[in-house]
Copies of this chain bind each other. A is one copy, B any other.
């Protein structure tokens, strides 16, 4: 039996005890257990399932500081950030507990029989959402807590009633193992089958490939690179029964500086932009990797202030040496693009630490070279100087799909913003004004998703309560006797607090 080690982000060196590498037999056994647990788990009532999610949150908090310390060592991220991330992780689980309790996710519908309808009677028809089956989740490197073992994908899949098999990210195996133990404790405490949650570990991609290929897995959640996401999608589509892969992959998150805002506060925007760009060493899916504006004094002031801030930026430890290397390659590729000028560079990095970089180019050059639109994961961004609004609109229209699009605007920019909005809606899952894309609120109206390649499925979100819909499918019951119907579809369940669409009219309970 082979083993592997956790790598400390700051040193790039192995640390801690050797860790077990799961085998393909372990994958198959985990999938067997998940499938065997499915019917029992999906039969849990709303209150029971909500209490389970809340128990997971408690168990994670009960790990205490050793969780934060493990995540700090493995990710290189600072304490305050990881404490915040733990709060978000726990908050997500509690949000989904509330969602489960309220029952909207079941989408209950009843079309009563019409025995006297002409020319044919209408049968009694009832609909509910059921979970799709066991789900494979791939944690993200850049959110070792909130987007990993017990992150948003896991929380939403468990909320939907799907057993989860996590392929732990090899960049934080100790952190992932601690969280997996916490979930296992919650499973045991709630008297649920062990197969409701399982965690697989190992450094090789083969493990994840075997997991997605297992016929008992019915959906996949993934956050990571475009190449990684596309590889899993290919496996999922080549199966005898293809399955959906919800992959969040690649986004450069355009920030549009509209003329009046730029005129009023170009300098302040430049400094604030670098704050967003360099946060967490730029390792956010929503990092602002592209700035678009029309030429003018305001833009000059923005660039000057941003350049000053970038120059003063210290290098920061990146998540892994591999990510650091990829960042350096991406920066070199951008720097070599014809028409791209390096405006500023922060203090030099090293093997584990990345330095911030700011580039600029013209709208014309950007339109001529699609390579400038590819994500560079880290604290690099490119400012595109457009000659007028029309060129800026062409640049936006030519972009790939994005997680976010940001507008900095004053009230006098409203007309231009309204003209840009329909273009931006076709490009991004979230459009925000006068802020920075790097904060993702966990709530009901959040969309953390967007057109390809931002994600593989723009019909969904991976953050916020709507994420539960990814793991559900509708089933219709026609003329099924009350004592055979699922509980929540029986007449006696009306009034249980869940909304129902009865003959096309929404009733709150």
Within 8 A of B (CB), among A476-509: 476-481, 483-484, 486, 499, 501, 503-504, 506, 508
- A445 in complex: contacting residue of B237, B443, B476, CB < 8 Å: B476
Q: Is A458 positioned at the interface, with any CB of B under 8 Å from its CB?
A: yes
Please give the distance in Å from A416's CB to the nearest CB on chain B.
10
Residue-by-residue, is A86-106 near B (CB-CB < 8 Å gives 1, otherwise 0)? 000000000000100010100
Asked whether, in the complex, the Cβ of A478 is within 8 Å of the Cβ of B241, the reply is: no
CB-based contact A435/B475 at 8 Å: no
Which of the residues B237, B426, B476 comes within 8 Å of A237, measured between beta carbons? B237
**What is the minimal beta-carbon distance from A95 to any residue of chain B, in angstroms?**
8
Contact pick for A429, options B126, B430, B451, B476, CB 8 Å:
B476
B residues near A104, Cβ cutoff 8 Å: 501, 506
Question: Which residue in B84, B119, B244, B475 is a CB contact (below 8 Å) of A447?
Answer: B475
A235 interfacial contact with B, CB 8 Å: no
B421 touches A133 (CB 8 A): no
Q: Are B428 and A125 in contact (CB under 8 A)?
A: no
Tell me which residues from 418 to 468 in chain A have a Cβ below 8 Å from any Cβ of chain B.
Answer: 418, 421-422, 425-426, 428-435, 439, 441, 443-447, 449, 451-453, 456-461, 465-466
- Check: A132 CB closer than 8 A to any chain B CB: yes
Once the chains are docked, how many angstroms separate the CA of A241 from the CA of B401?
A: 9
Which residue of chain B has its CB nearest to the CB of A480?
A: B433
List the B side residues contacting A499 at CB < 8 Å. 506
- Interface residue? A193 (CB, 8 A): no
Cβ A461 vs Cβ B441 within 8 A: no
Which one of B125, B409, B449, B473 lies within 8 Å of A474 (CB-CB)? B449
Docked-complex contact A504 and B98, CB < 8 angstroms: yes
Contacts of A483 in B (CB 8 A): 414, 418
User: Which chain B residues border A241 with CB–CB below 8 Å?
Assistant: 401, 451-453
Known: A133-B426, A506-B499. A444 touches B127 (CB 8 A): yes
> Cβ of A434 and Cβ of B479 under 8 Å apart?
yes
Question: How close is A247's CB to chain B, nearest CB, in angstroms?
Answer: 11
The answer to the question of A120 belonging to the interface, with a C-beta cut-off of 8 Å to chain B, is: yes
CB pair B127–A431 under 8 Å, yes or no, is no
Q: How far is the CB of A502 from chain B (nearest CB, A)?
A: 9
In Å, the complex CA distance between A476 and B421 comes to: 12
A431 contact from B120, B430, B446, B477, Cβ within 8 A: B477
Complex Cα distance, B126 from A460, in Å, reads: 15
Are B447 and A474 interface neighbours, CB within 8 A? yes
Q: Determine the chain B residues whose CB is within 8 A of the CB of A475 once the complex forms.
A: 425, 428-431, 447
Inter-chain CA distance A456–B242, complex, in Å, is 8
Chain B residues positioned under 8 Å from A125 (CB to CB):
441, 443-446
Are B435's CB and A504's CB within 8 A? Answer: no
Top 10 A-B residue pairs of the complex, sorted by shortest distance between their CB atoms? A432-B478, A447-B476, A125-B445, A127-B445, A109-B445, A430-B476, A111-B443, A111-B445, A458-B473, A447-B474
A–B pairs, 18, beta carbons within 8 Å: A39-B422, A43-B422, A84-B119, A104-B506, A111-B445, A123-B435, A125-B443, A127-B445, A133-B426, A242-B452, A244-B459, A431-B480, A433-B478, A433-B484, A435-B479, A447-B476, A460-B473, A466-B474
